[in-house]
Structure 1
Amino acid sequence: MHNGRWRGAGRALLRVIVVWAVSTLTMLALAALLPDFRLQSPDGDSVTRTALTAAWGAGVFGLLTALVWPLIVRALLLVPAFVLGLLVFFLNGSLLLLALRLTPDGRGGAAPETAVVVAAVMSAVASATSTALAVRDDDAYRRRLSRLATRRRRRTGDRTTGRDHPGMVFLQLDGVGHEVLLRAAKDGLMPTVAGWLADGHRLVPWRTDWSSQTGSSQLGILHGSNHDVPAFRWYEKDTGRLMVSNRPASAIELQRRAIERTGDGGLLTLDGASRGNLFSGGADQVALVLTVSTRRGRANRSRAGYFAYFSDPANAVRTAGSFVAEVCREIGQSTRARLRGTGPRVPRGGLYPLIRAFATVVSRDVVVAAVLGDMLAGRSAVYADLVAYDEVAHHSGPHSTDAAQVLASLDRSLALIAQVAEHAPRAYRIVLLSDHGQSPGETFESAYGLDIKDLVRAGCGLPVSRRAERTRSGAEARAAAGDALRGALHRRATGGEPPPPATGPGGEPVVLASGNLALVSFPDVPTRLSREEIDARHPTLLATLAAHPGIGFLLVRSERHGSVVLGPGGAEVPVGELTDDGPLAVFGKGAADAVRRADTFPHVADIMINSRYDPETGEVHAFERQIGSHGGLGGEQAQPFLLAPGELSAPVADGGELVGAERVHRVLRRWLRECGPQVPVPDATHAGPS
């Protein structure tokens, strides 16, 4: 026992000496290459003296990064992550300048901009050397895992149970559709996924609800209920509140409602970890989770993921460097697309390069590091969302070269997670899934010259932008509204009823877009308006919308027939009689059930609008500025996937279909029970219908 400890201590000391020596040599090489970086006094020094100065500087820099850097990162946790990423270089350079000031007789010195470069190179070299040595020393690697697990147990209490049984890691590839994943594996973009498929993993598609977006799908997957989530954003008449799925206040309320409806805390309530998600899933361990992001104090551990990752300066430098490279890559790709006239296209300037870099670099690195830590600590269940593909596909297209590069990068992250799982203190079964796909297509505004808000306003006879007035759609809608108003005035002159106001006393209609799904609400009426009431207010609105070539169908409530679906050519079908034929035929199997379910939601909008879908091209028209979109029905957006090891039970019986996020939740719960029969994973027995 004692001999083993001495051998371990000796190896650790040897690694420190080797890293110090390599850092010293790196510093000497940089001093020879960079004119503004010196390790000698102005009068010159001997080679030995210069080497001693380099060794001193490298040693002091190493100590400062080990002792001071974590304190700096903790102090900056409230700084936005992409700002922290840009500060990393300058903070690291400041530590190097301080180390040089502490060299004997002031022999070390560097210009501030040079110090940034030297610090970045030295951190990267030291990290690579240390990692290489640790990988070759299996005992050291095991000790590191043991120390990490022990520290986590001390901080949180030892809640890990059933380590004789496998744990589960659920990795969500945000926005990656079933067909996209299959193509990427077949074309060699995702060799890790291809290897899993070859090893007997089971890949099945599943069908989203009408609201095919992360807020609805992930809420259903993690908490067992996405009831009353009609879109990504919607207006609630009873509270006067605008709900947006990725706003903290809205996410907190949605999670509260789901827990209240199911009577259960979520998928991850027992020894779980939630990483990079909108919702916690009931996990005790959280990082980058929206529903806890507004908490302050020790109770908020969402930002702890940043600290755990950036407290290693090598991680910070590597991620910051990748962040800058990704910003440059996006600027180059968008410029090339603009010069080549590639279409369809959306604006990609402003803050978007920074937002993309955060999603594809910072968020990915922090989430992956957190997942690795969870596995090394032996957590029973981990659910993590990797958002990189979804962000890029919105602006570059789901089948673009830009998006393909992101898929390849994500596959490397999957490979790393799979490798680390082999060293974890328990076996892990890794399940890959997505929350929705994306459908390509030109935006509604680009195709028809006006956005959905202007079209609704024109149909109501309200003022629209001058550009919209000049479009054919805008002119036709305005003319129809004018004809209807003149007809009403004529009826009044002949003794009929006076014309209704163009808008109610509460103001104008609220028009909200969620991908290729749009919602229209009239806030001055506290209940859901009927078709008859809408026609009385705005006689041409519904006809204008239903007849527009960019719109697939509408859902409205009728006083005579119940809710009805209105389609092109005057099609009108009561929801109770709705089938997958008729006005919904092009949207595929299950469209009628999805619309019928949404119609039962308390906060469904007065008018629900789904854009046109072309089954030959697979294209939709997003009501937002996105050439890869999701949110409604039509194409690949509604066809995510579930990829699981073959030893887990089949998600559905042969010939069956996996429909709805709530049903996916039940499948994942079943798999958790299969992995650890002695761990009582509760059933979501009170969940609403899926």
Structure 2
Amino acid sequence: MAQPAGPDSEGMRVAVVAGTAGLGAGALGLTVALLPGVSADNGWAVLGAAVLIGLAGAVLRPALVRLLSAIGWAGVVIGWLVAQALLVYAVLTLAPGVHVDGLGAAFGAAWLGAGLMSAGLWVVTAGQDGVVTQHLLRVNRRFRASVPRSDEPGTLIIQIDGLSAPLARWAVEAGNLPALGRRLAGGTHLMTAWHARLPATTPASQAGILHGASDEVPAFRWFEKDSGRMVVTNRPRDAALVEDRCSDGHGLLAGDGVSVSNVFSGDAPASLLTISTARHARGPRRYVSTYLLDPFGLTRSLVLTCGEVLKELHQARRQRLRRVRPRMRRAWPYVLLRGATNVLLRHVNLAVLAEQLMRGKPVIYCDFVDYDEIAHHAGPARPESLAALEGIDAALSVLEEVASAAPRPYRLIVLSDHGQSQGATFAQRYGLRLDDLVATLTGGGEETLIAASGNLALIYLVRREGRVTMEEIEEFCPGLLAGLAAHPGIGWVLVRSAGQGPIVLGPDGCRWLDDDHVEGTDPLRDFGPHAADDLRRHDRLANTGDLVVNSLWDPVTREVAAFEDLIGCHGGLGGDQSAAVLIHPADCPPPGELVGADAVHEYLRTVIAAPAPRSGVSRPAPSRA
């Protein structure tokens, strides 16, 4: 790929410094004019103070990052809130011709100035290509001289969380994903689908993709009778527990790989923003501190986060006014979470990936969760969800440009861990939750725990040891199986018979999985060609439920009914949630049919081991003096 135009040239550096100083002076001047408690004798005093603030920040910022990161996440947050205010207070106190009335006024000046500079940067850089790339290359320029160049290709793997293969194809054809579209149209890459086996969740798929051990994860959350523990895989302690079971020390990223923003580490020695290593990792704190204390990062975050929040409020209101169905209430916790995932986390991911590319790391794997989070609340093909996809595609363009300046060529692989299916929730449809239905059917006489993952639910009779059989359930809770199977919101129920093995129950028939004979209507008839095999496998998993329940799947409306408060969901069977996507270099070995995340793991090992640069590689640009 072509090298981005002159990001390290002397002229560019002078222009950046001059532009930043000018914006800083303008922001400080407006702050002095607007904020009581801060004053200046004249414009030259303002300009001098702005230059001093910039210089002090450049000198002190690295030391502040190290100090605050060592304190912990509390230090990161406190540093973001007060470090700039302390710096501004010190500079304004010492700068000739400028006066500040105490730390409170300095705090206000720091944040007002940051906001004004944010607005100025947005006006100056809006619509300009390469601004983010130039910044990332500039802050990582020290690696240009220190890292040896190599012709051995590295591999950059980007996971777009929750993107189904059918939607990916449509988005490319519609022009929503131009970066990916260019590679596909140019013939350097090919797109294929792979089957995400039950449960279609990020932890299960990443356990397979990164460790080849998807069998260790029966759902997003599950109950372990032996220990009495509820395992929820987005909790760091639980993710670490599961990774211990998955890891043999030779995961996809073992050696010198890098894991970024994943559930599991893939045995990477550098595991950053990864849930399973979050309790012990200090590296992520450094990256977040660096980003938040960087004026460019802070100002972009301020402007874009506010914009994302306003955009979410507008889009949620638009859904209500248009009476879009299905939809859900999008409360303030989600509004703020969207701002964090679509702005802060995406930008921090870019900063981390840019550094690792410039370090020349051999294999890098990063999960972008923005689309999945929005699709859960808005629906997988709704405008706001597609806009999140466009944002990830734009991030891919930046990474391509950074990779072209890296010390080695990079193959690009883009994949998803699962898709999403849409529908009104179980509670919206029937006015009660699955917990309420089970309590009614058991008469309250049996303690039951329900672990829902999208439109899949694992039901445990917690006072009964081991896997409870169909015969025992009929004895203890005689109406439970029949009542669940007959409910219109439930597609099938999996249970194990003591004498006949796993059986799938439906409203009008049942299927014995050991010999595949069916009585009445096959309950798996509309759930796809892999359904029976998926259930046979799931029945063998440790810690699966005494009952495994899947929601309805309507092949006409293409809707499921999540047992959680989610409009777009995944975890069970039905629709596009099982149809994940893989975009790979065209001249790497063809993947063939990929069934399950463990098969994707083996294929990625083949690609990573391919010895020569390929057409899907971003080649290193010639070094510069």
| TM-score of the aligned structures, taking structure 1 as reference length | 0.80
The answer for the alignment partner of 1:574 in structure 2 is 512
The answer for the alignment partner of 2:620 in structure 1 is none
Greater shift in the superposed pair: 26-35 or 350-359: 26-35
Q: Is 1:624 equivalent to 2:616 in the alignment?
A: no
Distance 1:348 1:83 in 2: 31
Distance 2:408 2:441 in 1: 62
Distance 1:523 1:38 in 2: 63
Q: Which amino acid aligns with 2:150?
A: R
Q: Determine which of 229, 232, 240 is the counterpart of 2:217.
A: 229
Percentage of pairs with the same residue:
36
The answer for the alignment partner of 2:596 in structure 1 is 660
How big is the shift at 1:367?
Answer: 1.1
> Contact 2:29 / 2:46 at 8 angstroms: preserved in 1?
no
The answer for the alignment partner of 2:605 in structure 1 is 669
Please give the per-residue CA displacement for 1:336-373, whole angstroms capped at 9, x wherever unaligned: 32344322122211411111111111111111211111
SS at match of 1:172: strand
Please give the per-residue CA displacement for 1:178-235, whole angstroms capped at 9, x wherever unaligned: 0111111111111111111101111110001110000100110000111132111111
SS at match of 1:450: coil
How big is the shift at 1:310?
Answer: 3.0
Distance 2:313 2:39 in 1: 43
The answer for the alignment partner of 2:481 in structure 1 is 542
The answer for the alignment partner of 2:504 in structure 1 is 565
The answer for the alignment partner of 1:101 in structure 2 is 93
> Contact 1:38 / 1:107 at 8 angstroms: preserved in 2?
no
Change (3 A) 1:90 1:132: farther
SS at match of 1:511: strand
Change (3 A) 1:615 1:306: same
SS at match of 1:633: coil
Larger Rg: 1
How big is the shift at 1:562?
Answer: 1.3
Distance 1:131 1:70 in 2: 28
Distance 1:601 1:335 in 2: 43
Unaligned runs of 5+ in 2: 1-5, 614-625
Q: Which amino acid aligns with 2:499?
A: R
How big is the shift at 1:21?
Answer: 4.2
> Contact 1:20 / 1:58 at 8 angstroms: preserved in 2?
no
Q: Determine which of 50, 58, 80 is the counterpart of 2:50.
A: 58
Distance 1:139 1:293 in 2: 30
Q: Is 1:515 equivalent to 2:486 in the alignment?
A: no
The answer for the alignment partner of 1:434 in structure 2 is 416
Q: Is 1:602 equivalent to 2:587 in the alignment?
A: no
The answer for the alignment partner of 1:470 in structure 2 is none
Q: Which amino acid aligns with 1:292?
A: T
Q: Is 1:328 equivalent to 2:310 in the alignment?
A: yes
Greater shift in the superposed pair: 232-241 or 211-220: 232-241
The answer for the alignment partner of 2:246 in structure 1 is 258
Distance 1:18 1:127 in 2: 17
Change (3 A) 1:634 1:647: same
Distance 1:381 1:222 in 2: 12
Change (3 A) 1:426 1:522: same
Q: Is 1:412 equivalent to 2:394 in the alignment?
A: yes
Q: Is 1:220 equivalent to 2:208 in the alignment?
A: yes
How big is the shift at 1:461?
Answer: 0.8
Q: Which amino acid aligns with 2:439?
A: R
Q: Report the number of matched residues.
A: 599
Q: Which amino acid aligns with 2:151?
A: D
Q: Is 1:194 equivalent to 2:181 in the alignment?
A: yes
How do 1:291-440 and structure 2 match up within 5 A? 291-295=276-280, 300-440=282-422
Change (3 A) 1:80 1:565: farther
> Contact 1:37 / 1:111 at 8 angstroms: preserved in 2?
no
Distance 1:141 1:71 in 2: 20
Please give the per-residue CA displacement for 1:291-313, whole angstroms capped at 9, x wherever unaligned: 11111xxx643433323433422
Q: Which amino acid aligns with 2:251?
A: G
The answer for the alignment partner of 2:158 in structure 1 is 171
Unaligned runs of 5+ in 1: 1-7, 154-159, 463-501, 678-690
Q: Determine which of 232, 235, 242 is the counterpart of 1:247.
A: 235
Q: Which amino acid aligns with 2:464?
A: V
> Contact 2:502 / 2:536 at 8 angstroms: preserved in 1?
no
> Contact 1:431 / 1:644 at 8 angstroms: preserved in 2?
yes
| TM-score of the aligned structures, taking structure 2 as reference length | 0.87
How big is the shift at 1:25?
Answer: 3.7
Change (3 A) 1:123 1:584: closer
Q: Which amino acid aligns with 2:601?
A: H
How big is the shift at 1:169?
Answer: 0.4
The answer for the alignment partner of 1:276 in structure 2 is 261
Please give the per-residue CA displacement for 1:650-683, whole angstroms capped at 9, x wherever unaligned: 111xxxx210000000000000111469xxxxxx
> Contact 1:273 / 1:284 at 8 angstroms: preserved in 2?
yes
Distance 1:25 1:39 in 2: 23
Please give the per-residue CA displacement for 1:78-120, whole angstroms capped at 9, x wherever unaligned: 9998996898476545533443322214357877545423234
Please give the per-residue CA displacement for 1:452-481, whole angstroms capped at 9, x wherever unaligned: 11111111012xxxxxxxxxxxxxxxxxxx
SS at match of 2:524: helix
Distance 1:208 1:21 in 2: 52
SS at match of 1:564: strand
> Contact 1:611 / 1:620 at 8 angstroms: preserved in 2?
yes
Distance 1:73 1:141 in 2: 17
The answer for the alignment partner of 1:5 in structure 2 is none
Q: Which amino acid aligns with 2:598?
A: E
Change (3 A) 1:578 1:566: same
How big is the shift at 1:148?
Answer: 2.7
> Contact 2:190 / 2:586 at 8 angstroms: preserved in 1?
yes
Distance 2:19 2:46 in 1: 11
Q: Determine which of 529, 553, 572 is the counterpart of 2:492.
A: 553
How big is the shift at 1:149?
Answer: 5.8
How big is the shift at 1:33?
Answer: 5.2
> Contact 2:21 / 2:54 at 8 angstroms: preserved in 1?
no
Distance 1:280 1:442 in 2: 34
> Contact 2:150 / 2:408 at 8 angstroms: preserved in 1?
yes
CA RMSD of aligned residues (A): 3.5
Q: Determine which of 15, 23, 26 is the counterpart of 1:26.
A: 23
> Contact 1:433 / 1:641 at 8 angstroms: preserved in 2?
yes
Q: Is 1:613 equivalent to 2:549 in the alignment?
A: no
Change (3 A) 1:102 1:425: same
The answer for the alignment partner of 1:590 in structure 2 is 530
